Chain A
Amino acid sequence: MSRRELDLDAALADLGAALRFPATPDLAAAVTARLEQGPARSSARRWPAWRVGWRRLAVAGLAVVLLAAAVLAASPGTREAVARRLGLRGIGVELGGPPPPTVTTSPGARLDLGLGPRVTLEEARRRVGFPVLVPGAAGLGRPDAVFVDPAVPAGGRVDLVYKARPGLPASSFTDAGLLITEFRGQPEPGFVKKVVGAGIVQQVTVGGGPGYFFGGDPHFFSYRDASGQFREERTRLAGNTLIWQRGELTLRLEGNLSAAQAVRTAESMR
C-alpha cells in the first residue's frame, strides 16, 4: 500500500474505533421466546416493526406508557390517524423504546447537565458557525452557564442554561430553570420527534414561523443535522419543550413553562 492508502486506512480504522452504534437490543430473550413457540408459529408472517417497539416497551415494564402506547400502536393506520389529528404533517411520532435516560447531577454541579465543555458566551460565539441568540425576555438575558459542542452536529451546537428564578421554576432534576439549545439543522421533512408515552403535542407559531410544543411525558428528540445525519438527544430537563426554526437555525427550549410562556421567551431571542 502506498503512503496515501495507509493514511486513509489508518483514518478509517481510527474512525471505526470511535464510532457509536445504536444500543444492541436483547435479541437472545426475544429469539428464545420465539423458538419456544415452535416452528409452526415462527414460520408465520414476520413481526411487523410496530410490534417490535411494543414488545420492547413491555420489557421495559412501563405500565403507564404501555397503556397509552398500546392504544396508538394498535395498527400503523391508527397511529397515522392519531398523528394526523395532532396536526403533525411533516413530523413523525414514534412510539416505543425505553424511556429516555434523564441526566442526573450531583449537588454542586447541578448546572452541568452533561452538555460538553463549559465556556463563556463569547467563546461559544467564536467556536460555532452561526450567530448565537439569547432571550431578551425580562429576567433572562445573559445565561448562567454556556456549553458548546463545536463538532456535532456539523456547524456546532450551543446550550444556554438559566438558573431557576421567580417565574421560572426549577426542573425537578436540576437547579436549572431553562435550557436553550441552538444548532444548524434541517427541520423538514426529516425533522422527527419521538414521543414516549402520552405527551401533549401542539403546533404553535413563533415569530410567524412554525413551531411545536411538547408537554407532559419525557421524550426523545431526533433531528437531521446539516450533514444529513440523524441525531438523538436525551431530554435533559423533564419540563416542556418548544422547538422552532429561525432561518437555518433550529432552536429548542426546555423548561417548566406553558406553551404561551415558551413562545413569548422564544420570540424575545435576539
Chain B
Amino acid sequence: MGETESVEGRPLDEQELVERARGGDARAYETLVRRYQELAFRTAYVIAGGSADAEDAAQEGFVKAWFALPRFRAGAPFRPWLLAIVANEARNRRRSGRRQDDLALRVAEDRPSGDAAPSPEAAALATEQRTLLLAAVGLLGEADRQVIACRYFLELSEAEMAAALGCRRGTVKSRLSRALDRLRALMAEQGGALPATRLQGGDR
C-alpha cells in the first residue's frame, strides 16, 4: 500500500529490510510493517473474528516481532515468522472472552465493464452463488473455517498456513481436506446446490 516494488526485486529487498531492522533500523521496519500490515490484519481478522481485535492483535504482533527480531534466523522467510506471532496474538484475543463478531466478510458485486463483462443477470447469479458459499463456510466449525479462509481468502502458502494456524506443516493438508469434505457435505445437506457446478454455466 503506497509503496511500489518490483516482483523480481522483492525477495532480496525483504531480506535486506529484515537485516536492517534486526540491526535496529526502525525506518526499515516501518517499511516492512507497511508491506505486511494488510496480510497481518486480515490473518488476525480471520482468527480473532472482529475488526477491533484484529487491529489490536496485528499492532501488538508487529511490536512483539520488533523486539523478537534478534532471535529471527537470518535468511529465513519473514512472512511465516511474522504470521505466527500475529496469529498468536489474535488467538489470545479470541480466547479472552470479549464480544466477537462473526466473520463479516462481504462478497463484492461484479461490476460489469468492457466487452467480456457478464450480463447483469449472470453477475447477480455469480454474486448470489458466492454469498451462498460464504454462508456455508460460515456454518463450519472454527477450525474448518480458519483453514479454508487461510488457504482461499488469504491465499497463504502451506508454511504460512501452518504458522497462522499453529500446527505442523505436515497436518495442514489433511486439515484442509477434512474441512473441504465437511463443507461439501454441508452444501449437499442444504439442497445440493454446490456453487461450482452452477458457476461453470453462469460465471465469468
List chain A positions with a Cβ less than 8 A from chain B.
Answer: 4-16, 18-22, 24-28, 30-32, 34-36, 39, 42-43, 46-47, 49, 52-53, 116-117, 149-152, 154, 227-232
Contact = CB atoms under 8 A, between A and B. Distances in A.
A7 B197 contact: yes
The B interface, classified by DSSP as helix, strand, loop or mixed, is helix
B63 interface: yes
Contact of B199 (A10, A24, A35): A10
B155 A7 contact: no
B52 A49 contact: yes
For the residues of A in contact with B, the DSSP-based class is helix
B203 A20 contact: no
A24 B1 contact: yes
13 contacts: A4-B184, A4-B196, A5-B180, A7-B199, A12-B152, A20-B106, A24-B42, A52-B55, A52-B59, A151-B109, A152-B109, A154-B135, A231-B106
Contacts of B34: 28
Return the 8 tightest CB-CB contacts between A and B, nearest first. A7-B196, A230-B104, A11-B196, A16-B152, A12-B152, A27-B37, A28-B34, A151-B128
A9 B133 CA distance: 12
Contacts of B135: 154, 227-229
Given A22-B51, A34-B59, A151 B197 contact: no
B199 A18 contact: no
Given A4-B196, A8-B184, A28-B34, 6 more contacts: A19-B105, A35-B63, A227-B131, A227-B138, A229-B104, A230-B102
B172 interface: no
Interface in B130-181: 130-131, 133-135, 137-138, 148, 151-153, 155, 180
A42 B138 CA distance: 36
A16 B156 CA distance: 12
